[in-house]
Amino acid sequence: MLPIDLSGKRALVAGVADDGGFGWAIARAMAQAGASVCIASWPPAMGIFEKLLERGRLDGSRTLPDGSMLEFERIYPLDAAFDTLAEVPDEVLESKRYEGRGDFSIQGLASALEADFGSDSLDILVHSLANGPEVKNPLLETSRRGYLEAISTSSYSLVSLLQTLGPLMRAEASALSLTYLAAERAVPGYGGGMSSAKAALESDTRTLAWEAGRKWGMRVNTISAGPYASRAASAIGFISRIIRFYEANTPMERSLDALDVGYTAAFLASPLAAGITGSTIYVDNGFHAMGATMRTPEPEAETGG
């Protein structure tokens, strides 16, 4: 038996606000493999999430195969659009949606982790963060502000998290992020600069693998997941159609399960993947390998000359 063993390791999954997405599935898989798990959640969504946890509404999703429950060591507030609290605009600081959350910046997260667990306390960082305020807009109709906000939250935030949390991570640590095939192929409907943000994320993964590997001995990879009807993805508006298209054209005739991504993340964070870094790992039932789809029209008949 060759188990994925994360016993004695601490994981931080940034970007969990419900039990319906890849972030939750990754946290669940990490816990199942023996890791202790902290999560970071967007402040405006934390209140509802915490109430659901307290009232047992998520107990079904929290139950692991051995009957134990997924527990979180800490739940931290995080708005990854801000490196420090000093950068937060007054209208955000004064918003009731952020009230009582303290320092929800990336630096605030690092300070809270160090206060809770010390300076050598983190083994796994998972970046499950993405936001494009104009994602429904075609790129030709995307504003500069919308484009830059997509890049800031969806890709630069990984750079900032590694800058800030790198010194807290133990030897042989691992960082993971989530990307999508729109980084390398056109996906109509996935707009607002989000395709550019995912392309930047994949490029940064390669560079960060080199830099963080040489500086801290850390591995950095990204998982390119197929479409999945999480609450966040459903907001895009065409997720059901793209899922049906994938299912009709993937080599594996099956629906993608969030735990497919969760288990891959647990493997990549484990010693079994010690030789893997700087890589984009596809978890999409093989769709990325296809050069033509089942719906490709037949070529027109050639005429003789």
Residues serving a catalytic function are 180, 190
Cross-strand pairs, 126:
13, 176
Amino acid identity, position 135: V
CB count, 10 Å around CB of 42? 23
Enter the DSSP assignment of 69: B
Give the closest residue to 263 by CA, choosing from 255, 272, 274: 272
CA nearest to 191, candidates 140, 148, 144: 140
Asked if residue 53 lies in contact with residue 286, where contact means CB atoms within 8 angstroms, the answer is: no
Q: Which secondary-structure segment (H or E) carries 303?
A: none
Selection from 124, 114, 179 nearest residue 5 by Cα: 124
Distance CA 247, CA 249 (A): 6
